[in-house]
Amino acid sequence: MTIADSTPSFDPRPTPPADAPNVVVIVLDDLGFGQLGCFGSDIATPNIDALAAGGLRYNRFHVTALCSPTRAALLTGRNHHSVGMGFLTDVPIGFPGYDGRIPKSAATMPRVLKDNGYSTFAVGKWHLIPRWEQTAAGPFDQWPLGLGFERYYGFLAGDANQWTPELVQDNTFVEPPATPEEGYHLTEDLVDRSRRLILDSKHARPAKPFFLYFAPGAMHAPHQAPQEWIDRYSGHFDMGWDAWRDELFAKQVAEGVVPADTTLTERPPWVTAWDSLSADEQQLFARQMEVYAGFLSHTDDQIGRLLSVLDEIGERDNTIVMLISDNGTSAEGGPIGTHNEHRFTHDRLDDFDDSLARIDELGGFRAYNHYAWGWAWAGNTPLRLWKRFTWLGGTRTPLVVSWPGRISSDASGGVRDQFCHAIDLMPTLLDAIGIAAPATVDGVAQQPIHGATLVPSFEDPTVGDPRDTQYFEMLGSRAIFHQGWKATTDHVGRQLSIEQELVGSSADFGSAQFETDHWALFNLAEDFSESTDLSREHPEVLARLRDRWWVEAGRHDVLPLDDSLVGRAVALEPNPNPIAWKTRYLPGAGPINEDALPGMGGGIVIHASIEAEAGSSGIVAALGDWHNGWALYLLDGVPVVTFNLFGTAFSAQAATPMSGGSHQLSVRYRRAGGGVPGGPVTVEVDGLAVAEARLTDDLPFRWQIGGAGMRIGHDSGFPVCDDYATPFPFEGTIAEVVFEQPMFAPRDRDADARTDVSQALRRE
């Protein structure tokens, strides 16, 4: 047989439906129900407002009350516990609803779209990788490229420094393309990359539709924006959160964002009345909100720049754009806000006088700031509470949908009031495109899609809710919507010490015990803001909803309940590749993620084998920055180690320079223990102590949330202290940097014992 006698055949390629629309899903972070202009705010968001004016606003859209769970629900169309994301993916524990991994039985929206001929891009925050899998060693199946996206550029963690983020391109850690001093800002970079991905795809295959998942770090703390955007709001919030909230609510009612009969929930006792604050407190808190507003307006401007590419390629009419927030506003700044969010991470409150003295740094290079929780309360107007709680303030956020080619001009600008949820976005998009959810993917039978399509509501505002039941659970806070009613617990999880202190006080913050939780009952058909508890009037309805919550909890892997952060850390999934008591790192690698490094809190020894001429300078090893971090370096031949703890630098510096040649430079930190914070630090040269210092606080269990990993031979981003400016390259040769955890050293020093990092956390 020859080719003349043969008929060629080719495997079919994935082909999208005819005229398939492009899709852009924008996920903002920690944005409240009332903070966009099109939802009543006076903060300028003209580009998002234009989307709403040409599309639809959904005022009863709901999420899970936390970032990782909402993102998993959105991308899979399934409830968050059913896909292992009952809490943050950073803290995987050994129960199906909380293992932090999207299972193969829940193929994601990008995977389904890719299999149907779409280009798929993710840009921005990911936060869907279990803790031990976020390093350069992978595995990469929970990274964006492992879950259906073909290209990725962004950051993996829960937040990022807008000036100096730890970035990943596809599966590789990379440096930002410019420095803060050169004008770098993360949101602008993410928009640049998004536009490039869209243009590259359309230039190569103009008819191929794309799916872009765009998730900037905004509006999560740190609130950081170019100064000119912040200064636009100078004096704007001097009226305070009470008066601003009243004005916001009046505008929401006037514009039909909330029903005319909505009750504005009262200010809770744990939010101080603005008029009761001192002049200094009002000055600081008003500036915090000016910074937030500038950050939001800057973000909106960049969203406008992103969407302008649709006009440039002539695809605006045939592109579906959806914009949401992953949860309500964040109160993690506490009652007075914070100059440095790393303090919140380690449950430390700010000193007011220090914050006031540094007010001019807010939003800039020297601050990792968050606003006071009075602004979080006001930003969720007219709702109660905030992120992490299943009250509407945590779970009800804006949804804007734009599709000029399908949503008629008569419908445009309308408000839809269907009770809907993040799980509805995937089935809505599949329905709009004309793709059926697959029964199997890669031979794995798929879980049912829990969401339902919202497409009928695009033209018919009277269509019913997509479902009559939706459960909620986050850190022990529980709620359920069923047939127009909502039952909500007053449970307060064990996360913020300041919230725990309010439990049982005159502030009546809520219950800290599952056994004493009160279930409140609301008729959401008549009570938009969850303001009037009807549990006494309708005990039979409450009993029915409580029973239904337990049914849904069992169905979706919600159990066992856990309201503790510390408890989860102790029960953390063991590292499958535990870090040895002694680890070795070499120059020439990219940034080393913290999860590839040993914990330092219980004590650490660092040895660096170096060779340098007399008087040399430069970084030997460094991690973090002047918000939280450490660095070992030479200054004109003088060895120095600096630990910057939440913005306060402690240095041990030798009195004289080292001689030229080869040396072993060592740092020893021993935790004091016995309830005494901190401990002694010693710097050694060739085994002889040359400098000592005393830390007055413990080393943190994690130095950075979304900042720089460890560098060897140079630093990046902001420095750890003012002794040097980055990159401060080492003027010599570094052979190796070795870490030792003495508390885990085996008795037989030649044994190759390995120890789980979670054990270090327990000992800390």
> Residue 483 is part of a domain; what is its CATH number?
3.30.1120.10
For 484, the token pair is 């127009």
pLDDT digits (tens, 9 = 90+) for 275-313: 999 999 999 999 999 999 999 999 999 999 999 999 999
Q: Are 120 and 113 in contact (CB under 8 A)?
A: yes
Structural domain includes residue 553? yes
Compute the distance between CA of residue 514 and CA of residue 491 in angstroms, rounded to an integer. Answer: 7
Tens of pLDDT along 592-604? 989 889 989 889 9
533 and 384 together in one domain: no
* Same domain flag for 522 and 441: no
Is 192 part of a structural domain of the chain?
yes
Q: What is the pLDDT of residue 745?
A: 64
Residues 254 and 300 in one domain: yes
Are 461 and 482 in a shared domain? no
Q: Quick one: pLDDT at residue 506? A: 64
Residues 565, 691, single domain; the answer is no
How many structural domains are present in the chain? 3
The domain that holds 610 is classified in CATH as 2.60.120.200
Q: Grade residue 761 by pLDDT with cuts at 50, 70 and 90.
A: very low
Q: 553-572: per-residue pLDDT in tens?
A: 999 999 999 998 777 877 88
Confidence category of residue 633, pLDDT binned at 50, 70, 90: very high
Q: Is residue 4 part of a domain?
A: no
Q: 551 with 596, same domain?
A: no
What is the tens place of the pLDDT at every residue in 230-250? 999 999 999 999 999 999 999
Model confidence at 123, pLDDT cuts 50, 70, 90, reads very high
Residue 5: inside a domain: no
What pLDDT score does 499 carry? 84
Is residue 473, in this structure, part of any structural domain at all? no
Give the model confidence (pLDDT) of 188-233 as tens digits. 999 999 999 999 999 999 999 999 999 999 999 999 999 999 999 9
**701 pLDDT exceeds 90?**
no
Boundary-marking domain end, from 570, 593, 613: 570
The whole domain housing 530 covers 478-490+498-570
Q: Based on the domain organization, do 463 and 485 belong to the same domain?
A: no
**What is the number of other CB atoms lying within 10 angstroms of the CB of residue 639?**
26
Q: Residue 90: is its pLDDT beyond 80?
A: yes
DSSP state of 67: H
| Co-location of 196 and 170 in the same domain | yes
Q: For position 738, what pLDDT does the model report?
A: 98
Which residues contact residue 263 at a Cβ distance below 8 angstroms, ignoring those fewer than 6 apart? Answer: 382, 527, 528, 529, 531, 532
Domain end point (choices 522, 546, 570): 570
Residue 357 scores a pLDDT above 90: yes
CA separation for the pair 305, 290 (Å, rounded):
23
Q: Is 248 helix (H, G, I), strand (E, B) or coil?
A: helix
Tell me, what's the pLDDT at 21?
99
- Is 575 part of a structural domain of the chain? no
pLDDT tens-place string over residues 509-527: 888 899 999 999 999 999 9
The CB-based long-range contact list for 174-178 (8 Å cut-off, 24+ gap) reads: 174/590, 175/591, 175/716, 176/717
Q: Decide if 121 is inside a domain.
A: yes
Q: Looking at residue 569, what is its pLDDT?
A: 76
- The answer to whether residues 722 and 628 belong to one domain is yes
Q: Does the pLDDT value for residue 747 go beyond 50?
A: no
Q: Does 347 score more than 50 pLDDT?
A: yes
Confidence of residue 753 (pLDDT cuts 50, 70, 90): very low
pLDDT bin (cut points 50, 70, 90) of residue 742 is confident
Instruction: Write phi, then psi, for 145 (nearest 5 degrees).
Output: -70, -20
Residue 760: predicted pLDDT? 29
What mean pLDDT do residues 91-112 have? 97
Q: Are residues 156 and 246 in the same domain?
A: yes
Show which of 547, 570, 593 is a domain's final residue.
Answer: 570
> Domain for residue 702, yes or no?
yes
% of the chain at pLDDT higher than 90: 86
Same domain, 562 and 710: no
CATH number reported for the structural domain that contains residue 329 in this entry: 3.40.720.10
Q: Provide the annotated active-site residues.
A: 67, 127
Q: Give start and end residues of each alpha helix (H) in 205-274.
A: 227-231, 240-254
Same domain, residue pair 713 and 648: yes
Give 706-750 as a DSSP string: SS--BEESS--SS-SSTT--TT---SEEEEEEEEE-GGG--SSTT
Residue-wise pLDDT for 124-147, tens only, equals 999 999 988 999 999 999 999 999
**Mean pLDDT score of the chain, rounded to an integer?**
94
